[in-house]
Amino acid sequence: MFTFFGVLISVVSTLAYVTAAECLQPHDNTWNSSFTLTEDQINSLGLSNETAHNLEVVIRFEQTNWATGSVINDPFYMDLPANATTAPAGSLLKLEAFTNTSTYTIAPSLALSRSIYQSKTLNGTIVPVSAYILWPYHALGGAKAAPLVSWGHGTAGLVAESLAGYAVVATDYAGLGVPFYPYGSRITHQYVASPAGGNDILYAAQAARSAFPDQLTEEFVVYEHSQGGGTAWAAAQQQIELQIPGYLGTIAGSPVTNTTMLVKTTGQALAMIIWPDMNIAEMLTTRGQALLTLVEEIQGCSVAVNTALSGTLEADPTAALMKDGFVDSYWASSFANLTTVGGQHFVGPMLVFHGTNDTILPEALTALSFKQTCASFPERELRYVVAQGVDHVATSYATQQIWLKWLEDRFISKNKGGGHAARSTEEFGASSCTIETIGDDTVRPLDNYQSALNWHLSYAPNGLL
């Protein structure tokens, strides 16, 4: 509520000084960026003048909204300590306890810290990863130490402001913050490689507690959505081996569970991990490789990538980007075998939720992973909530009362001596899988409710407001 009215007040104040006609004029040349595409970049994909213009403005918009400029020019991310090549996973490498938020966009009454810690990639290589901590003004229950939630964003991110009273440590995931290894090689983000993200999220909590032992509880809960939902589920599986102290459970929202099945079910050409010893030509066509090269060169976020992708498809709708048969290849099946979640041991309890109207990640795939897990490990504490008539991001809002109560119960149970943090992998209690559906008893008819998120801050192509 306060965020909405803060925006409203800003808009009203602005309107007091400009005419209505001026407000309706698109401003696409006032960014704090002068980014332009080269002729070679435009010609490599046959982009139209309109697409090239849109992509340039998207990048200018994104660069203008950088809090500290490019990470490549920010010493915090570039100047790593000497032990970054040897410190074990979970080690705190660098800390900025107080971050000046004057150039950041965060909700009022929050404080920010930044950190760099050590994690592991999919193949076990140590890798430096950045994270931030959002501090609540008033810790839940008025405690001195704020209960900790280790949070991971989805592909486009998801607002964590609703976790009122909790301290939130949010990993950037390897490759999305710190750009280079200490020895100079670029860190590649292992997109939808859920176990790698699981490492990032668990070690983020461990490093945060070592940085602030008196201000954060030792106990923590994992919460993530979308790409992060798969990461959260993987974290529960990774915890079997890692056994990070203080773990109380996992919330996995609208998760990526099986990349191969997702591609086959939806036709989405998911950007799978580029393996170090893989020839990219085995995965992508010449046109697909050109698109990947452009994406790497412009270093854009999701809106820029989508603009480049849509422009590429518009230029030649018949030209494939992924090679025929790749989804059934050795590389794709190996990736799926290493990254699929569900049907495996995990440390509970775990809450999973998904919406039936999800057009990005079909709910049926999550339901299948849930059933496989319950069939193999019926004693595990796994709760699945299905939200009727709700789309991908909106599911987090539709189920908010459920997961906030579940989250609070984890810490209350721990304080009463009933927590799971001290349980070893051999001491799982006898519990059960449960599934429930919500949306059949809404206050208003179900079709009265907005089913999907219909707003976000981004550039509107062609000056649309």
Query: Rounded to whole angstroms, how far apart are CA atoms 96 and 146?
Result: 18
Give which of 224, 403, 261 is closest to 336, Cα–Cα.
261
Distance of CA 462 to the CA centre of its chain: 29
Distance of CA 126 to the CA centre of its chain: 20
Amino acid in the structure at residue 447: D
Beta bridge partners of 437: 386
Domain 71-258+340-448, second-level architecture: 3-Layer(aba) Sandwich (3.40)
| pTM of the complete model | 0.84
Beta bridge partners of 175: none
Query: Rounded to whole angstroms, how far apart are CA atoms 285 and 267?
Result: 16
CA distances from 89 to 86, 199, 229, 283 (A): 9, 9, 22, 31
Q: Which two tokens stand for residue 394?
A: 């909106």
Q: Which two tokens stand for residue 287?
A: 């046109």
SS3 assignment, position 216: strand
Nearby residues of 176 by Cβ (< 8 Å), 6 or more positions away: 189
Query: Rounded to whole angstroms, how far apart are CA atoms 312 and 298?
Result: 15
Burial class (CB in 10 A: 0-12, 13-18, 19+), 239: buried
Domain boundaries, the chain: 2-65+284-321, 71-258+340-448
Rg, the chain, Cα only: 22
pLDDT of the chain, 465 residues: tens digit per residue: 222 222 222 222 222 233 333 333 444 556 678 899 999 999 999 999 999 999 999 889 888 888 888 888 899 999 999 999 999 999 999 999 999 998 888 888 999 999 999 999 988 999 999 999 999 999 988 888 999 999 987 664 444 445 778 999 999 988 888 988 998 888 887 877 889 999 999 999 999 999 999 999 999 999 988 888 999 999 999 999 999 999 999 999 999 998 888 888 876 655 544 555 567 888 889 998 899 889 888 887 778 888 898 899 899 988 888 888 888 888 888 888 888 999 999 999 999 999 999 988 999 999 999 999 999 999 889 999 999 999 998 999 999 999 999 999 999 876 665 544 333 333 334 458 999 999 999 999 988 988 877 765 555 555 443
Query: Rounded to whole angstroms, how far apart are CA atoms 222 and 211?
Result: 18
Amino acid in the structure at residue 145: A
Beta bridge partners of 385: 353, 436
Helices then strands, each counted (H, E), the chain? 14, 10
